[in-house]
Structure 1
Amino acid sequence: MPFCGKCNQYRFPVYNVAVSMIDVNEQNGKIMLIQQYGKSVCILVAGYINRGEQAENAVAREIKEETGMTVSHIKFNRTKFYEPSNTLMCNFTAFVKDDSELNTNGEIDKYKWFEKEEARKNILPDSLASIFLNSYLDE
């Protein structure tokens, strides 16, 4: 147990927690990949969990904020710690009924819906997003 002799208290590791989502259109089975911050690489929608917020609620909130779409249901996939930002990434599949509500905000530069194997080919290679997407597709 990490104990601090100076303050006479236990000190536990502190890190960020975020969600990333494989967005699936239930109508056609396609997966949405996005581009952000002026970069030309395709990644997954992601965002940090707010203090006191449940991870599942963060998934629905981030999808709504960034894409305007309403999540119909969510499936947990896996977690992976991302050392560069000291973040525990929690990956989910977020299903949307269709893309009729699609209205991206300023956080997304571009988006595209891909067939499953197209998504695998277009996701940023050797990234956390590709690890999550490939694991999902390989199940």
Structure 2
Amino acid sequence: MKYCLECGTALVMKESDGEGQVPYCNACEMFRFPIFSTAISTAVLNRDLTKILLIQQYNRPDYILLAGYVNKGEDAETTLIREVKEEVGMDIVAYEYMRSLYFAPSNTLMLNFIGVADSEDLSQMSAEVDHAEWFTLQEAASAIKKNSLAETFLLAIIEKLNAGQVQVNPVAVGGSV
């Protein structure tokens, strides 16, 4: 970040107690910490935890995990529930937070989850999704876009599933977390 997001003044580096050198706006007399987007990514599983839903979007041939940006005022768990409902028409009945990774191409912090869907019904997909398909764990590992953040998340999830270490939390009645 080179310019103040409030007034447009060029930022200078200034020592901030405990933070080191941080961009500073002399006009606003404010430190300007880095800004980035936040999104969720989820491996949607069936209730038996034996299949993973992968999607294709934007006329691309690669299979990826379902993902979406966190809206202002929204927590990551609510985003997870909303995005799955919007994109594939399914309700999430349980979830587990996995980990986060930064995705430099879009300046986004990705928060990865396992989400358990209420069904395997793909009849309610939105126009955002070109195609969705259920895969076994091994099929999903082969089908996912190679050398992608989605593959990194998926392989960690499969490893955890195979080790019996998944502990999904039920979603409260009414869909809230």
TM-score bracket for this pair, using the shorter chain length: over 0.9
Q: Deviations over 1:24-79 (max 9, x none)?
A: 01146210000000011100110000001010000000000001100001100000
Instruction: Give the alignment's TM-score, normalised by structure 2.
Output: 0.75
Gaps of 5+ in 2: 1-15, 17-21, 161-177
1:68 alignment partner in structure 2: 89
Aligned to 2:167: none
Where relative contact order (Cα < 8 A, 6+ residues apart) is larger, the structure is 1
Q: Report the AA paired with residue 124 of structure 1.
A: K
Contact 1:19 1:46 in 2 (8 A): yes
Alignment check: 8 A CA contact 2:49 2:116 kept: no
Q: Secondary structure at the match of 1:114?
A: strand
Between the aligned residues of both structures, percent identity stands at: 38
Alpha-carbon distance in 2 for matches of 1:110, 1:9: 47
Q: Which runs of 5+ in 1 are unaligned?
A: none
**Secondary structure, in 3 states, of the residue corresponding to 1:60?**
helix
1:79 to 84, 88, 100: 100
Bigger shift: residues 97-106 or 126-135: 97-106
Decide whether the 8 Å contact of 1:69 with 1:102 is kept in 2. Answer: no
Residue 59 (1) aligns with residue 77 (2): no
Aligned pair count reads 139
SS at match of 1:46: strand
Larger Rg: 2
